[in-house]
Every structure is written in C-alpha cells, then in structure tokens.
Structure 1
C-alpha cells in the first residue's frame, strides 16, 4: 500500500499544501516549527480518523480558519482509495472513502494500516497504564474488527455502570438487579477482550525480542508482560468483591480497563532501570514489531512513519535501523529530520528510491 498524493487545506500550520510522494522513501527536512511533523500527522489522520499528537480535533484547524480538509490518494491491492477527512468548527468530523461518508468511523480502522514511531512514544514508558492499553488495543483493532466491536461495547457498558453507581450515591439508593445487568455484559465483552489480548501478547513477544536484538545488536534480555487480574479470577467474581469499594468511589474499579503491559529489561522495569538509549531502542523495537505483526495479520504492508527518530540515537543504532528498513519487507516510509545532510546520508545507504522535501 502506498500514499501517492496528499492535499492539505487549513490543517495546523498549512493554509494549502499539495504533495506527490515516492513509492518508497519520503523525507521532510527543515527547522523545528516548519510543519514536518504536521504532514506526518495528516497521513496518520487519514489512516485513523484522528491526530496522533492532538486528540482534540478542532485544535488541528489552522488559526483563524473555520475548517480543515485532508485529502489522500492511496494505492492498495491495485485499487485506488481516495480518503478525505474534513472538519468544520462546531460540527461533526466527516471521513469519506471514495466519495462515500462513513456512518461509523470504526468501519475505517484497518483499511489503511500504518505504524508511527515518534518521540511522543516515550509516553508508553513514562505514563500510566492507559497509554499502554491503548497501544495494545490499537494494534489488535487494526486487524480484528470483532475485537474493536467488543472494546467499544465494553467501554459503553462501563460508562453506563459508572453512571449508575453515581446515581445510587446521589439518590441514596441501591438496585442490585439493575447493576447485575451491566455486570453480565461487562463479563461477556471483558472475557473476549482478555482472551484476545493474551493471544496477542503471546504472538507479539518473540517478534518484539527479535526486533530489539536487530536494532541494538545486543543480547540483553527484554520482555513484555500482560498484567491482568483476570488471570486469577473471572470478572464476575472481581466485580462482586469490589462492590462496596465501587459504591464508595462511584466508579468501576476492576476490569480489563485496568490492565497493563509491563516493559522489562533484564527482568527489571525499563522505566527505572533502562538508559535513555535502551528506552529509545525498546520503543523502536516495539513499533517495528507492531509493523511486522500487522503486516502478517492484514496481508498488507503498512506505511511506516519515522518522526525525528535519528535524534538522540548513536550512529551504531542508526546503522542498525537503516539496515532493517533496507529490506523488501518494508513498503513506503516517511521520515522527518532537522538535518538535511544527515537525512540524505542515511537514505543513500538504503538501496531504494527516495524524495526529499525541504520545508
């Protein structure tokens, strides 16, 4: 799959921008603040229907403008896919595929597989479990529609149960039969999500470990662990045990929405015991593993976006990454960097066609 053309109107700092891309490597170079990352984010937006960096859609509209439009022409499986994402202030976002608007944005997820590697990925290490769950859910959802549906249903029921708990507290009442209806639904959707997360992590770990070794050349052991209370008890039992706490705090304190993904290096948390270089290599390996996992699951080569990843990496690690992407397993790649000369030196070592855009 390749992105052939991209047009932006009033997107972030761009009033109007038209770009035609190389089928292999496309590099955006220039000083900080000129919009390199914004172009990459627009590509991400077409794939996921939202920004990678700013989830508040209206804030992606250029200052003093009333709307934005992102228009992309993709080539996938010898077919042309024209995707348009637009938003007018105070209205609902619209995503169109070949001129037809989606009724549900969820139907678009997975059509255009894409992996982004960015400095913002450090949040996966330093932030809370919610960030790591979103990563896990995002990878699985791109190739498994039933998982995405179960996740959306679970979150909907969870919100309803939380609202009911607040209602009980405000009105000094309690209706166990009504609560049980939500408990059963949470268990049904939660069990499906739990089983698929387990399957994913089992399949993903060896791919990830292989990528880490390829990037670093090191033999140090890295690992991922899926942490969930559902390993020890089913969700029905957990909800029953936490009932008094849930009524006191007025929200659901147990369930798959509390699961986590632990990152380990030499059996210790990488957040505390990994150097900056090890953490960056860990995250890049994680995303390269995502790329290979998604490619295998979808039978489509995802677009790969590398946002400023050569910064803070030593030459040895850069060389390993270059060797990895100089491979027929990779398709179209988008790169941003502040140093034009460094970028050109890197892409010249990759035996593929390329285009450099100076912003």
Structure 2
C-alpha cells in the first residue's frame, strides 16, 4: 500500500482533515464545491510540491491563517515513512521526511509516485511538448535510477549555455566547453528516456492487446534534435551550426529540453483519428500503463488521482476504463457527485466510499 494516512490543516476548505484510505479504490462523493478535488490536490501537493489548480499558494491557505500543513504516512520498499509539507503565506516552504528537515522535494516525490487525471488532462494530446515531457519524465524518474542526477546536471549546463547566448556574440572556447558537456549529458538522457519509452510501449500493449483500436497506437520518442543525427559528435556539430539562430532566439533550440512523445495510430497523430471519447479512454490507458510500469520496477505502489471520472464518457467507454482500472497495480482516488457512477464497477471489498461535505469527510458503506 502507498498512502496509509493523510492529514491536512488549514488547506482549502479543510480546517482539519484525517483520512485513512483503502489500499485499492477510494471514492470521494459530494456536491460540487464540497472539497473532493481539494483532497486530491492535497495528495498531489505532497508528491509534487505544487498545486494542479493554481500557481498562487496563498489560495490554498484558509482565510486569515498563516500557513497550511500536509502530513502523510507512506509505505515504500516495505517501510513506513512520515512526510510533511508546510507552506506559509510568505512562500516559505518547510519539508519533513521522517522527522528530518534535511530533505528535498525530490526525496519526497521518490516515495510517492502520483499521477493525475482531470478534464484538463487532454493537454497531453492538444498541448505542447512540455505536457508530454512531464508525463513520460515522471515515469523515467521513478523507473530509471540515474535519471534525476543526469537531468539536474543537464539543466545546469543548459542554463549556463543560455546565459552565454545573452553575453557573447561569437562561438568561442566557452561554448565549445559547455557544448561538450551538453552533448554528453543529452545523449545519456536520450538513452534513459528511450529505454523507458520502450518499456512503456510494452506495458501499454499488454493492457490494450484486446482493444482493436488502442492496440494500434504506438509511442515514438522525439529526442529534441533531427532523427538523422546518429552520434554525439553530429549533435555537437549541430549546436555549432545553429549558434547564430540560437543567438537571435535567445535560447538553445535543440536538445533534450525539446523532447516530445508522438502518439500515432495507423500512421496518423491520435488526435486526428480518434474521437474525444476515444482519446479519454487512451488517456486512461496511458496513465494506467505508466503506473503498472512504475509498480513493476520496484517496491513502490503508485497513486492515481481521478477527478470527475464520468465526464464526457458514454457507457461503453466507462466500461473500458474500469476494465483498465481493474488491472491497475495502484491505489486509486476517484471523485464523483454520485456513488452510483462508480460503485457498480468496483467490488465492495476493493473500495471505500467517503462522503465529502463543507470540508468534512466521513466514511460510508456505499
């Protein structure tokens, strides 16, 4: 089990919250504005250090209160860990991991693999490459052990190169020095990402092999530079050749920071050939496949947060999605206005229903 206990103070409309979730499915039922999505937001904030609803942390703190506090007990690698986050109106952020303040957000995120599905998740298809990089890099972070360290090094080198573009007008020894490091780290990131996407394609295929439509979907990683480049030396040459254009743009136009995931079916982009309802089913399949891959790679049980599951789904699509969810190796939290939208698809002994109203949460039998 992943999340054993969730507690919140002065978070959104929850003055005090204490929740002991079911290890499999947790259904959060209540009217709009009752606090269902805020509960998902609290779990997401613990895992990512930010909200998926607002960039202004002050909106998360109850009126006239100085800060909000989130605390959880998490099971990972057969151990129980205590994690906590306090965010003040002044933006001061305090973290705790097993009682110690000597920790980073990445240390907490590593213990709590959390994915989110909301009506806005269609950005995975219709948004820019950043949306898709965030999707697959979350999985690479949890599956490929060395990814985060390499990514941190690359980010520092990229920042340095972009700063140089604003200071120097000539491609000189400084650029050669940083480009050599850039290329070395870029090639490492590409190898880690490509290996992960191959694993994700296999997990996706295992989940959808009985679906005549989704089984045709392929996942193709674009590295962030032309496919014709086959060696690191060719990438370094490209950086040199594109220097003048980089100067005009003010940033580095090639590299892993421009990577993308291309989702195709029968040779076309999926958004061109699938209906909105079919895209939502595909979205669920991708998230479930990623959670299964993370779970299968170690001793973590990921968490899937689903806000407003029934939105824009016909009965056939709803059944497909629950077929996927019954094969998920994750702890799942689902919001709904009515329990009857979800309970017929999940066995009673595999779920717990919680009623949310005016910032209060109670466990119910249905």
TM-score by length of 1: 0.89
Give the whole-Å Cα distance in 2 for the aligned partners of 1:336 and 1:7. Answer: 18
> Where does residue 354 of structure 1 map in the other structure?
352
> Where does residue 272 of structure 1 map in the other structure?
272
Tell me the SS of whatever aligns to 1:136. Answer: helix
> Where does residue 200 of structure 1 map in the other structure?
196
After alignment, is 283-292 or 297-306 more displaced?
297-306
After alignment, is 24-33 or 45-54 more displaced?
45-54
Contact 1:326 1:352 in 2 (8 A): no
Cα distance per residue 1:245-275 (max 9 Å; x no partner): 1122221111111121111122211223220
Cα distance per residue 1:126-147 (max 9 Å; x no partner): 1111111111111101233421
> Where does residue 87 of structure 2 map in the other structure?
87
Q: Within the alignment, does 1:184 sit opposite 2:180 as a pair?
A: yes
Give the whole-Å Cα distance in 1 for the aligned partners of 2:221 and 2:75. Answer: 36
- Structure 1 unaligned segments of length 5 or more: list them: none
Give the whole-Å Cα distance in 1 for the aligned partners of 2:206 and 2:239. Answer: 38
After alignment, is 173-182 or 21-30 more displaced?
173-182
Contact 2:278 2:317 in 1 (8 A): no
1:97 shift after superposition: 1.1
* Residues 242, 207 of structure 1: alpha-carbon distance in 2 compared, 3 angstrom cutoff: same
Give the whole-Å Cα distance in 2 for the aligned partners of 1:258 and 1:114. Answer: 24
- Counterparts of 1:98-247 in structure 2, within 5 Å, are 98-168=98-168, 173-174=169-170, 176-213=172-209, 218=213, 221-228=216-223, 229=225, 231-233=227-229, 234=232, 235-247=235-247
* Residues 183, 97 of structure 1: alpha-carbon distance in 2 compared, 3 angstrom cutoff: same
Give the whole-Å Cα distance in 1 for the aligned partners of 2:102 and 2:226. Answer: 35
Contact 1:71 1:84 in 2 (8 A): yes
Tell me the SS of whatever aligns to 2:342. Answer: helix
* Residues 298, 116 of structure 1: alpha-carbon distance in 2 compared, 3 angstrom cutoff: farther
1:203 shift after superposition: 1.6
After alignment, is 250-259 or 45-54 more displaced?
45-54
1:179 shift after superposition: 1.6
> Where does residue 50 of structure 1 map in the other structure?
50
Cα distance per residue 1:23-77 (max 9 Å; x no partner): 3321111122222111012112222333334355444333443211111122344
Aligned length: 352
> Where does residue 362 of structure 2 map in the other structure?
none
1:192 shift after superposition: 0.6
* Residues 37, 178 of structure 1: alpha-carbon distance in 2 compared, 3 angstrom cutoff: same
> Where does residue 332 of structure 2 map in the other structure?
333
- Structure 2 unaligned segments of length 5 or more: list them: 358-366
Q: CA RMSD in A?
A: 2.3
Tell me the SS of whatever aligns to 1:23. Answer: coil
Tell me the SS of whatever aligns to 2:309. Answer: coil
1:219 shift after superposition: 6.2
Q: Within the alignment, does 1:342 sit opposite 2:337 as a pair?
A: no
> Where does residue 97 of structure 1 map in the other structure?
97
TM-score by length of 2: 0.88
Tell me the SS of whatever aligns to 1:38. Answer: helix
> Where does residue 249 of structure 1 map in the other structure?
249
Give the whole-Å Cα distance in 1 for the aligned partners of 2:339 and 2:67. Answer: 32
